[in-house]
Amino acid sequence: MENISFKLDGRTCTAEKGTNLIEAAKQNGIFIPTLCHFKHLNPLGSCRVCTVNLNGRPVAGCTISLQEGMDIEVNTTELLDTRKAILEMMFVEGNHFCPSCEKSGDCQMQNLGYETGIRFTRYPHLFVDRLVDARPERIVVNQNRCIKCKRCIEEVKTNDGFSVFSFTQRGNSTKVSVDYEQEAKLSEIEAERAMQICPTGSILVKGKTFSKPFGNRQFDLGPEGKQFSLDKIKKHKTTNKKKRIATTSLAGCFGCHMSMLDIDLGLLDLLEVVEFNKSPITDIKNFTEHCDIGLIEGGCCNTHNIEVLREFRKHCDILVSVGECAIWGGLPAIRNTVPLEECLREAYLESMTSEEGATIIPNHEDIPKILNKVYSNHEVVKIDYHIPGCPPNANHIWNVVKHILFEEEYSIAYPEFKYD
């Protein structure tokens, strides 16, 4: 085969003529993120994450077969942001509840989220109600997590050559549907292969989802610098005035607070440089002084949450959303795809323990009103920083807080990124 030379971010590289750009870039040490590209498949160009500039024009990288003299840009500021933006679109379009997903840690989309550094999405989440189809013989198809990359459509065929999956509908209702008849022909191994080629947790094989435990999964990287260094805190002790912190949990589970406490004895050292104002940790109910930083766990599901959040905005210089619920609604937002009336009816009127006619939907002027959906904090007030995770690791939280308080530069390292 003929070798050709091409330019990759200004560097001259060589590859076999006609090689797919994604593969050739890998051979030359440049990683181009992609979700729909899959080894020998014909280029699909459906996810668009691999968008690059070819001779100055944007093209999906996976559709390029290399020719002599091509000039390709991969990592310009604009392209990096475009890639991030497209991934964010995927996160808001589907309902990606990483903390409750079987594929978490093995999910390629999640990994690219870490890779591109998505802490929060620039777009509001759409929360469209989608189908979870458990009717097939061996697999479950969860439309909430599908990114319509088409890998399964192209790749999963029965022995006699029939497709198992196909797109149905169009526009914003496009979805991947299963042919039950053909699916039943798949062997256990073929079904597992379908699960593997799905870049998210959309295709799962019944009974096989937890065969690899959390912690041992492909993208389960441990946090860097396990121990919280005391010296680093004491360095700041020279500051005359202690910095003040406030914390609260809105529609959250207090898990993020538990995580904060996880720094154990480090907390005592920390108290030498900071003091807590309004916080469940001190049990101070109302702000007594203006604070430097406010940590918010959980999103807003009722009017009380909104009030507290607005109060925090008023009394804190910097507000930080801690954890998935605070950032985009998280687990409580699972209800966002269901109309409020149905939720309340199910919880209070038609639940296992309710007696017909004996229970009502609670309401009183003293109890807060439930909002039509769970809102992320940055939809309600301005939020300055976001710490992803469910919960974020203790060191991670304090690393961020410390650096903000003492105005040091800090960027979250890839291994510290977690959505689960």
Residues that bind another protein (CB under 8 A): 43-49, 51, 58-60, 63, 78, 81-82, 85-86, 89-90, 92-93, 122-124, 126, 147-148, 150, 161-174, 177-179, 181-182, 303, 306, 339-341, 344, 360-361, 363, 369-373, 375, 378-382
Q: How far apart are CA 119 and CA 121, in angstroms?
A: 7
CB of 180 to another protein, least distance (A): 8
CB of 101 to another protein, least distance (A): 19
CB of 341 to another protein, least distance (A): 5
Contact 99, 325 (CB under 8 A): no
3-state secondary structure of 197: helix
46 versus 142: smaller Cβ distance to another protein: 46
Q: Which residues pair with 248 in a beta bridge?
A: 296
CB of 418 to another protein, least distance (A): 24
Cis peptide before 388 (omega within 30 of 0): no
Strand stretches in 1-129, DSSP E: 3-8, 11-16, 51-54, 57-60, 71-73
Contact 205, 136 (CB under 8 A): no
28 versus 177: smaller Cβ distance to another protein: 177
3-state secondary structure of 10: coil
172 versus 211: smaller Cβ distance to another protein: 172
48 versus 386: smaller Cβ distance to another protein: 48
- Phi, psi (rounded to 5 degrees) for 362: -60, 135
76 versus 288: smaller Cβ distance to another protein: 76
Closest to 68 in 3D by CA, of 8, 14, 11? 14
198 Cβ neighbours under 8 A, 6+ residues apart? 103, 151, 152
69 versus 124: smaller Cβ distance to another protein: 124
CB of 170 to another protein, least distance (A): 5
Contact 395, 264 (CB under 8 A): no
Would you state the structure tokens that stand for residue 234, as one six-digit string?
A: 């004491």
Closest to 86 in 3D by CA, of 32, 44, 36, 49? 49
178 versus 245: smaller Cβ distance to another protein: 178
CB of 66 to another protein, least distance (A): 13
CB of 312 to another protein, least distance (A): 13
